[in-house]
């Protein structure tokens, strides 16, 4: 099973967000032990560093990026992804990019807490708890 993991799930773990941490941590663990083929968009890396910039010094940011590359396959952002995302009727361009990437890599699912944001996606969006039930 190949799943594109939304940026917020990684942030749930890194920030230990109450109410979200447990399921997101399980998803990451399953990706780490290859029970799930977890993929993140290359777009997720700078977004994570940007959001966490106040908590991270340069070395900690590098350590996190290195660890993420061990756990997940990082899918490149392609020019065609941008073109496809522009043609999608998404409110959030970043979500459209994630959807375009998921489609290109032939992901089975987009794993996200915000499934409504992906209602126009060609790849089914499911919550972390749903993915855990399907494993």
Which of the four CATH numbers 3.30.830.10, 3.40.50.2300, 1.20.1260.10, 3.40.50.1010 does domain 2-134 have?
3.40.50.1010
CA–CA separation, 5 vs 40, rounded Å?
5
CA–CA separation, 103 vs 114, rounded Å?
18
Angle at 14 between CA 8 and CA 16, to 5 degrees: 90
Over the stretch 58-81, which tens digit does the pLDDT of each residue have?
899 899 999 999 999 999 999 999
Over the stretch 93-129, which tens digit does the pLDDT of each residue have?
999 999 999 999 999 999 999 999 999 899 999 999 9
Cα Rg of the chain (Å, integer): 14
Q: What pLDDT does residue 134 have?
A: 94
Spatial neighbors of 122 by CB under 8 A, at least 6 apart, are: 99, 103
Q: So where are the chain's domains?
A: 2-134
Where does the pLDDT of residue 54 fall: very low under 50, low under 70, confident under 90, or very high at 90 and above?
A: confident
């Amino acid at each position: 099973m190949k799943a594109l993991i939304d940026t917020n799930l990684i942030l749930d773990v890194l920030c230990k967000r109450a109410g979200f941490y447990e399921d997101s941590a399980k998803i990451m663990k399953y990706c780490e032990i290859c029970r799930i083929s977890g993929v993140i968009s290359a777009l997720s890396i700078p977004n994570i560093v940007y959001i966490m910039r106040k908590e991270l010094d340069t070395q900690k940011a590098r350590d996190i990026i290195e660890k993420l590359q061990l756990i997940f396959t990082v899918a490149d952002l392609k020019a065609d992804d941008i073109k496809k995302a522009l043609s999608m009727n998404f409110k959030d361009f970043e979500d459209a990019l994630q959807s375009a990437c998921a489609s290109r890599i032939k992901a089975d699912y987009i794993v996200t807490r915000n499934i409504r944001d992906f209602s126009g996606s060609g790849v089914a969006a499911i919550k972390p708890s749903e993915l855990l039930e399907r494993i």
